[in-house]
């Protein structure tokens, strides 16, 4: 039996893997602070992914996309990849080859992938799918606190709260074990849909606020308006621990509840009730998720919620706080250690001369040889194959044909590349476009560390052998770097060796992992970063001071701006996207698990019954949802709990069912977060089937 962690979300629930009577791995939940002995259906069935019927075990190569893939040996495949990368770099410069990583990679992989891009390729073109996940919250957190750690406190602290506000988060479906920590507090849920989390709030003494998509910031300003006007803010905390409230209040002063109701659709009475719940609570938390972050003003939207939390005196207080609910399994660690275009390991800025010098010295190179900051994920993907973009791309553990905004354009750009290399365990929608596909190990077939939503570093342990012919990502990095002229010791294939180097390089940085190592992890010690060598880990940051030089948190003035596109007569509705309980990310894993695929076999569009009737749609029928960029075919599901001007689509499906065919690549000006949550769309029947729901 091996005790390890789930391959999916950032809860990183613990589990035991043990062989069943036929020798196949079987999952049992393990007791751990995040899941407390529970698992969701994805965790229970996670071992089935290891035996996916279309699992790749041999590298595949083709000269052009007009040809079929040819199975080859590893040396042939790696020689082909390295030769192509060298040729493109020689002909077009180092930025001719880009790297796109994942928030699902271990810390060791994320670290060495960033090192590979900057040393072996010399490219500035590296980013990862976490840019689509937490970048707005990270930007807002750094502005306010000087440091970004998803939850700056253990998840278990939430159980002692009186009230928890969840802005754009639906843990009842996306992270079910988290709800065990939210049974005691009353919940205020901000979501345009009556999700399972919102329904829990409604039926347990809480409140559901359903704003029009794209108006969260105005709602947060209105809540701050009421809190301050009624004297529920903590003036002593504001004076002692923050700065800048006087610059924020003029923006909130104009958002009285009746004005906010007109814009957001949330009744003024509910705004006042929510403000009272928060303002009179002894212990409260404000938590944000993707729903309030994935907007073209996502950073400002999160800042508005942080301003509310600061006015209430929550961040850095025992029993209260603000936090961001990280989505991907290693969304936190994935960006801390060098996958992000503007960061070096340890959360160091790539444009900081001191940071560059320290990292370059650790890597044994001249700081002048390190490239600068490159474009963000969306910008990098949208430029592929063009005169200004990379000519080659290595995708590692990511599927942007399904996950990126305006997915049709991304498909076109991938198809325009001279060289597309994909490391994956199956032929995903993105891998199907590749010139080379490298079959790599899965979660239970290798060891590595991840950083969960609390900033807790966990050790995912190898439990089974990978199929013959499969290599780990670290082995692939090692082999490719050597072929590109790098000393082999710079890219260790052993995860513990890589972790030791990561720990050394991050010493003294904001995300200090210098005290993280196999011995401490295996001893059962709870390690949260910062975890300096010789020092105690930090389960709760900000208790004494914030990370700005003066120790104070910053209020950040923000104002509501409309979404990047608006509805009109041709596109009269707003589409928003999100997750289902049974699937994860692009579904490359979960759609291959029979139980999960049978439960949610196809894409759906959730529509209010009145909206469905107006557009001639029947429950169970097919609808075509169209935006200014593309269209989706989805099965109609009637939902009385969604706004009449809004439709919802899950983003787990590919092809004509890909929700991101619709989404807008408009970017937040600071974080470069795309606007996934607001797309102007129209609805049309796609068949004559289906029947009206009655009840």
Give dist(CA 104, CA 596) in Å, integer.
Answer: 20
37 lies in a domain?
yes
Whether residue 693 has pLDDT greater than 60: no
Are the beta carbons of 625 and 686 closer than 8 angstroms?
no
Q: Which two tokens stand for residue 273?
A: 């009730």
Shared domain check, 301 and 224 = yes
Shared domain check, 95 and 187 = no
Give dist(CA 604, CA 620) in Å, integer.
Answer: 9
Give the residue-averaged pLDDT of 499-518: 96
How high is the pLDDT of residue 334? 87
Q: What is the percent of the chain where pLDDT is above 70?
A: 99
How high is the pLDDT of residue 691? 42
Confidence at 21, pLDDT banded by 50, 70, 90? confident
How high is the pLDDT of residue 232? 98
Exposure string of 209-223, with b = 16+ CB inside 10 Å and e = fewer, is bbbbbbbbbbbbbbb
Q: What is the pLDDT of residues 411-433, one digit of tens each?
A: 999 999 999 999 999 999 999 99
Confidence at 22, pLDDT banded by 50, 70, 90? confident
Last residue of a domain, one of 324, 350, 378: 324
Domain that residue 417 falls in:
60-132+330-444+467-493
Q: Nearest-CA neighbor of 247 among 556, 597, 588, 624?
A: 556
How high is the pLDDT of residue 371? 97
How high is the pLDDT of residue 370? 97
Q: Among 168-182, 325-339, 487-501, 587-601, name the one with the lowest average pLDDT.
A: 325-339
When the pLDDT of each residue in the chain is averaged and rounded to a whole number, the result is 95
Give dist(CA 226, CA 233) in Å, integer.
Answer: 9
Pairing status of strand 622-626 against strand 679-685? antiparallel
**Residue 598 neighbours by CB under 8 Å, 6+ apart:** none
Give the residue-averaged pLDDT of 129-152: 93
Give dist(CA 170, CA 159) in Å, integer.
Answer: 17
Using N-to-C axis directions, what is the helix angle for 216-229 and 257-264, rounded to 10°? 170
Burial of 647 (0-12, 13-18, 19+ CB in 10 A): buried
Any alpha helices (H) in 182-234, and if so which ranges? 196-203, 216-229
Shared domain check, 251 and 144 = yes
Q: What is the pLDDT of residues 104-119, one digit of tens each?
A: 999 999 999 999 999 9
Shared domain check, 109 and 19 = no
How high is the pLDDT of residue 688? 47
561 lies in a domain?
no
548 lies in a domain?
no
Last residue of a domain, one of 286, 309, 324: 324
Are the beta carbons of 382 and 410 closer than 8 angstroms?
yes
How high is the pLDDT of residue 24? 86
Residue 141 belongs to domain with CATH number: 3.40.228.10
Residue 344 belongs to domain with CATH number: 3.40.50.740
Are the beta carbons of 669 and 291 closer than 8 angstroms?
no
Q: Nearest-CA neighbor of 323 among 544, 539, 509?
A: 539
Residue 620 belongs to domain with CATH number: 2.40.40.20
Give the residue-averaged pLDDT of 449-456: 96
Q: Which two tokens stand for residue 504?
A: 């050394």
Residue 35 belongs to domain with CATH number: 2.20.25.90
Are the beta carbons of 555 and 307 closer than 8 angstroms?
yes
Q: What is the secondary structure of 32-70 as a DSSP string?
A: -TTTTT---HHHHTGGGGGG-TT---S-EE-SSTTSPPE
Pairing status of strand 664-667 against strand 674-675? antiparallel
Are the beta carbons of 188 and 277 closer than 8 angstroms?
yes
Whether residue 228 has pLDDT greater than 90: yes
271 lies in a domain?
yes
How high is the pLDDT of residue 695? 28
Among positive and negative, which fits the CA dihedral 224, 225, 226, 232? positive
- Sheet containing 436-439: order of strands: 70-71, 60-61, 436-439, 419-424, 392-396, 97-101, 126-128
Shared domain check, 471 and 349 = yes
Pairing status of strand 14-19 against strand 25-29? antiparallel
Q: Which CA distances in Å does 340 have to 95, 110, 127, 361?
A: 15, 9, 5, 20
Last residue of a domain, one of 270, 298, 324: 324
Q: Which two tokens stand for residue 526?
A: 């709870």
Q: Would you tell me how many other CB atoms lie within 10 Å of the CB of residue 297?
A: 26
Radius of gyration of the chain measured on its C-alpha atoms: 24
Confidence at 690, pLDDT banded by 50, 70, 90? very low
Q: What is the pLDDT of residues 41-87, one digit of tens each?
A: 999 999 999 999 999 999 999 988 889 999 999 999 999 999 999 99
Exposure string of 625-639, with b = 16+ CB inside 10 Å and e = fewer, is bbbebbbbbbbbbbb
Among positive and negative, which fits the CA dihedral 604, 606, 607, 608? positive
563 lies in a domain?
no
Shared domain check, 335 and 254 = no
How high is the pLDDT of residue 630? 97
659 lies in a domain?
yes
H, E, C per residue of 82-131 = HHHHHHHHHHHCHHHEEEEECCCCCHHHHHHHHHHHHHHHCCCCEEEHHH
Give dist(CA 522, CA 496) in Å, integer.
Answer: 12
SS3 16: strand
Q: Nearest-CA neighbor of 57 among 470, 471, 592?
A: 470
How high is the pLDDT of residue 20? 85
Q: What is the percent of the chain where pLDDT is above 90?
A: 94
Quote the DSSP letter at residue 609: H
Whether residue 651 has pLDDT greater than 70: yes
Using N-to-C axis directions, what is the helix angle for 135-145 and 298-311, rounded to 10°? 40
Shared domain check, 121 and 40 = no
Helices (H) and strands (E) in the chain, counts: 23, 29
How high is the pLDDT of residue 321? 98
How high is the pLDDT of residue 23? 80
Exposure string of 79-117, with b = 16+ CB inside 10 Å and e = fewer, is ebbbebbebbbeeeebbbbbbbbbbbbbbbbbbbbbbbb
- Structural domains counted in the chain: 4
277 lies in a domain?
yes
Shared domain check, 233 and 305 = yes
Shared domain check, 484 and 374 = yes
Shared domain check, 94 and 28 = no
Using N-to-C axis directions, what is the helix angle for 298-311 and 216-229, rounded to 10°? 20
Shared domain check, 353 and 272 = no
Shared domain check, 313 and 218 = yes
How high is the pLDDT of residue 694? 28
510 lies in a domain?
no
Q: What is the pLDDT of residues 546-605, one digit of tens each?
A: 999 999 999 999 999 999 999 999 999 999 999 999 999 998 999 999 999 999 999 999
Residue with tokens 């390089």: 505
Whether residue 692 has pLDDT greater than 50: no
């Amino acid at each position: 039996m091996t005790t390890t962690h789930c391959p999916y979300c950032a809860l990183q629930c613990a589990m035991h893997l043990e062989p069943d009577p036929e020798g196949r791995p079987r999952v049992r939940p393990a007791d751990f602070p995040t899941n407390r002995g529970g698992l969701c259906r994805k965790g229970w069935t996670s071992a089935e992914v290891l035996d996916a019927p279309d699992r790749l075990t041999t590298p595949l190569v083709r000269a052009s996309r007009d040809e079929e893939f040819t199975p080859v040996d590893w040396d042939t495949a790696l020689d082909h990849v390295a030769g192509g990368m060298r040729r493109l770099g020689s002909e077009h410069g180092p930025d001719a080859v880009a790297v796109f990583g994942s928030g699902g990679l271990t810390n060791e992989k994320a670290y060495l992938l960033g090192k590979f891009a900057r040393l072996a390729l010399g490219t500035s073109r590296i980013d990862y799918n976490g840019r689509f996940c937490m970048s707005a919250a990270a930007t807002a957190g750094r502005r306010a606190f000087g440091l970004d750690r998803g939850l700056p406190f253990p998840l278990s602290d939430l159980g002692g709260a009186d009230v928890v506000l969840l802005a754009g988060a639906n843990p009842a479906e996306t992270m079910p074990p988290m709800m065990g920590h939210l049974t005691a507090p009353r919940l205020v849920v901000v979501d345009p849909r009556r999700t399972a989390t919102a329904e829990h709030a409604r039926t347990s003494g809480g409140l559901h606020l359903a704003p029009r998509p794209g108006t969260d910031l105005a709602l947060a300003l209105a809540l701050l308006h009421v809190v301050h006007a009624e004297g529920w803010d903590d003036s002593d905390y504001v004076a002692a621990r923050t700065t800048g409230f006087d610059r924020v209040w003029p923006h909130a002063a104009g958002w009285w509840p009746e004005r906010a109701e007109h814009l957001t659709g949330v009744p003024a009475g509910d705004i006042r009730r929510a403000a009272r719940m928060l303002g009179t609570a002894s212990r409260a938390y404000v938590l944000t998720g993707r729903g309030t972050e994935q907007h073209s003003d996502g950073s400002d939207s999160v800042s508005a919620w942080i301003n509310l939390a600061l006015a209430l005196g929550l961040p850095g207080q025992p029993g209260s706080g603000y936090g961001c609910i990280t989505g991907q399994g290693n969304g936190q660690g994935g960006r801390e250690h060098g996958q992000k275009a503007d960061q070096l390991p340890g959360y160091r800025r790539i444009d900081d001369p001191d940071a560059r010098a320290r990292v370059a010295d650790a890597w044994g190179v001249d700081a002048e040889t390190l490239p600068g900051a490159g474009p963000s994920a969306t910008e990098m993907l949208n430029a592929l194959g063009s005169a200004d973009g990379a000519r080659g791309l290595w995708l590692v553990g990511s599927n942007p044909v399904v996950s990126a905004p305006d997915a049709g354009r991304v498909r076109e750009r991938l198809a325009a590349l001279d060289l597309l290399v994909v490391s994956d365990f199956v032929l995903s929608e993105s891998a199907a476009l590749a010139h080379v596909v490298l079959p790599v190990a899965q979660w239970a077939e290798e060891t590595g560390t991840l950083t969960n939503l609390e900033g807790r570093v966990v050790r995912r342990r190898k439990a089974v052998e990978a199929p013959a012919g499969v290599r780990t990502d670290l082995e692939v990095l090692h082999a490719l770097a050597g072929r590109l002229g790098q000393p082999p010791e710079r890219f260790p294939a052993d995860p513990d060796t890589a972790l030791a180097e990561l720990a050394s390089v991050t010493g003294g940085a904001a995300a200090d992992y210098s005290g993280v190592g196999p011995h401490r992890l295996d001893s059962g010690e709870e390690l949260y970063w910062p975890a300096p060598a010789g020092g105690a880990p930090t389960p709760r940051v900000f208790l004494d001071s914030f990370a700005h030089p003066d120790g104070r948190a910053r209020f950040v003035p923000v104002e509501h701006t409309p979404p990047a596109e608006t509805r009109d007569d041709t596109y009269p509705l707003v589409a928003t996207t999100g997750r289902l309980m049974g699937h994860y990310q692009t579904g490359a894993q979960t759609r291959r698990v029979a139980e999960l695929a049978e439960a949610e076999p196809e894409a759906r569009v959730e529509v209010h019954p009145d909206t469905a009737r107006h557009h001639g749609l029947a429950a169970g029928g097919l609808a075509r949802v169209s935006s200014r960029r593309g269209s989706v075919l989805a099965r109609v599901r009637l939902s009385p709990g969604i706004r009449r001007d809004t439709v919802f689509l899950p983003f787990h499906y590919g092809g004509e069912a890909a929700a991101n065919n619709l989404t807008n690549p408009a970017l937040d000006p600071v974080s470069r977060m795309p606007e996934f949550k607001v797309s102007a769309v129209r609805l049309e029947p796609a068949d004559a089937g289906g029947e009206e729901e009655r009840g």
